[in-house]
Chains A and B, each alone.
Chain A
């Protein structure tokens, strides 16, 4: 019988397997950042263990880094300590690090692909749940905890239980104004935040193949929001084209491509579960609640919890509406926004900035809100500046910042104030995620830009 893509990659990486035990899986690339690594390095030091393969390890500073005045020392002493600890650890253990100010610094999931380190058929891990992003290249990539970070540092392997596989077939042509962010938000609303649990999701179908590499990364990025540790898309010509010429693209290119070309799910393979989505029916999607599964088409209304049959889901919806200060039945388009955040490892790549700039060109953002535009990496920033996108944002009245995670999570100075409401292109709308008491609506870059102009949740079609 044929194999799924996930099974093929898995099988290629089994170092050891034994009945009744997890498989020991080899890790091709380990990405590191300042938040989830200090205790892991500490563990190594205590046990007197070296990093087994520093040459398969790379670090960047992203979560704590400020997006203003980056030439000055980090003002928050605790953030500074975490960043300094990473620098010290990388120097001591021989790990390559891209520090704030370095041209290759940026969000860890933007940096890997941009360096060409993310390639098909690899196993990639990082102490960060959005490692699923790299699945867009046909790599088995997933987030791990700090103990696992230490395990990978020490052994370059992980004991893992083989996940189940789920096919998500997205067929048809997207309507104009509908983007990959809307695809994934619609998938999560359909299967729920636990729907993908225990599975690797393989996104398939004509609508997925039609997406650019960066749009595919947006889809895979949010696999974790459906509960899945990893998302996958089979590599194709677009994938190879994207990697070609990148700093770490393989030198023996033809050999690599001929291997990569074997990485697809066989026709006669079976998935443990399968979901079908009709791309033609999708519309711009936004979240109204406090988990990424609580989303709805922008043209609809805030749902009425009393109409939800499942008592758990009903209770969650009721609590979410209280936290979000929303009334059932309110048209989503009437929701007034204070802050628009364009950025993050979900939507902080050059294409995201381009589509948003396209909407904002020659227009002004609403006087009633602020807009932060935060490129995903220093290189994305430079690329955007070379295309004049920074001018478009600044002329429209937005703030143009330095690269990093920024307002995606409240760790650096970019935060929502209590009660403030954002339209954010990031991936999590949890209570307080963007700052204590802040309220988040997840949106696509197109919706973010249109919302910035109108001041209420909007799509470019409303302009």
Chain B
């Protein structure tokens, strides 16, 4: 996983709430068995509309998505994160994310930032007025800044540290193999296994 410390880019204002993962990437695009190439499926249904914001020339190179409340609801498909990343997004900003989507994003190194809705509105207006506005996301300082505005955001220390170090969770956990071993020895014997029938 790539390390994330700061990112400077332009933003796409997506004035929609409840953007579910079926919209981010419809099910028909989930059939690939790799982690790449999902950019075609990103917002596939909405992109059919030439007026959809992602199709506007001035927003084509945006790398920061600013969305309405409850982004990423619905299906647990991590393909939603891959589609956003494959397309070129590095940061998603919203006033609330669905839990699974947020977890998936952190695993893949896509930074999700929660700010109050009024800051989302500020960002939307600023970007709509000037699509080329450079926006700086500083994970170290936990701030989003543009022009003379700086918005602070919160993120737990652990996730921040993992993203900044680009650390892979599995590698981290495997360091605790001893604890896992010990735990396994203490599991009650009535817990089922998939291999042996009990009757």
Contact = CB atoms under 8 A, between A and B. Distances in A.
A16 B176 contact: yes
Interface string B118-159: 000000000000000000000000000000000000001110
Given A129-B100, A312-B69, A410 B26 contact: yes
A78 B192 contact: no
Interface string A58-93: 100000100000000000001101100100000000
A15 B179 contact: yes
A312 B17 CA distance: 7
A313 to B, nearest CB: 8
Contacts of A151: 169-170, 173
Given A26-B180, A39-B34, A129-B100, A316 B198 contact: no
B39 interface: no
A42 B33 contact: yes
A316 B76 contact: no
Interface string B64-95: 00001110011111110100000000000000
B31 A432 contact: no
Contact of B190 (A197, A247, A250, A409): A250
B76 A85 contact: no
Given A147-B108, A198-B99, A36 B76 contact: yes
A198 to B, nearest CB: 6
A203 to B, nearest CB: 19
Contacts of A156: 180, 184
Interface residues of B, number: 64
Contacts of A28: 187, 191-192
B47 interface: no
Nearest to B101: A145
Nearest to B191: A28
A150 interface: yes
Contacts of B172: 159
Given A157-B173, A428-B74, A227 B99 contact: yes
Contacts of A122: 191
Interface stretch (A49-57, A341-349, A365-373, A374-382): A49-57
Contacts of A224: 74, 100
Nearest to A195: B70
Contacts of B100: 129, 143-145, 224, 229
A52 B170 CA distance: 12
A409 B70 CA distance: 21
A56 B33 contact: no
A21 B31 CA distance: 35
Interface string A310-341: 00110110010000000000000000000000
Contacts, number: 216
B73 A56 contact: no
Nearest to A408: B27
A147 B104 contact: yes
A155 B180 contact: yes
Given A24-B179, A431-B23, A315 B17 contact: yes
B158 A20 contact: yes
Contacts of A443: none
B183 A26 contact: yes
Contacts of B196: 55
Given A147-B104, A194-B96, A411-B31, A227 B70 contact: yes
Given A82-B33, A312-B17, A436-B45, A128 B98 contact: no
A411 B173 contact: no
A69 to B, nearest CB: 19
Interface in A135-178: 143-148, 150-151, 154-157, 159, 161
Nearest to B17: A312
Contacts of A215: none
Which residue, A47, A198, A227, A319, has most C-beta atoms of chain B within 10 A? Answer: A227
Contacts of A253: 190
B73 to A, nearest CB: 5
Contacts of B56: none
A161 B73 CA distance: 19
Given A197-B98, A198-B99, A410-B28, A148 B17 contact: no
Given A20-B158, A194-B70, A248-B197, A82 B31 contact: yes
B186 to A, nearest CB: 10
Given A15-B180, A157-B180, A259-B190, A193 B18 contact: yes
Interface in B158-178: 158, 169-170, 172-174, 176-177
A255 interface: yes
Nearest to B188: A259
Nearest to A248: B192
Nearest to B169: A151
B199 A247 contact: yes
A116 interface: yes
Contacts of A433: 22, 27
14 contacts: A38-B33, A39-B35, A55-B193, A55-B196, A82-B31, A96-B195, A148-B104, A151-B169, A154-B174, A157-B180, A411-B28, A428-B75, A430-B23, A436-B45
Given A116-B198, A316-B16, 12 more contacts: A28-B187, A36-B78, A47-B170, A55-B194, A145-B103, A147-B78, A147-B104, A154-B174, A245-B199, A250-B192, A410-B28, A433-B22
Interface of B: 15-18, 20, 22-23, 26-28, 30-35, 45, 68-70, 73-79, 81, 96, 98-100, 103-104, 107-108, 117, 156-158, 169-170, 172-174, 176-177, 179-180, 183-184, 187-199
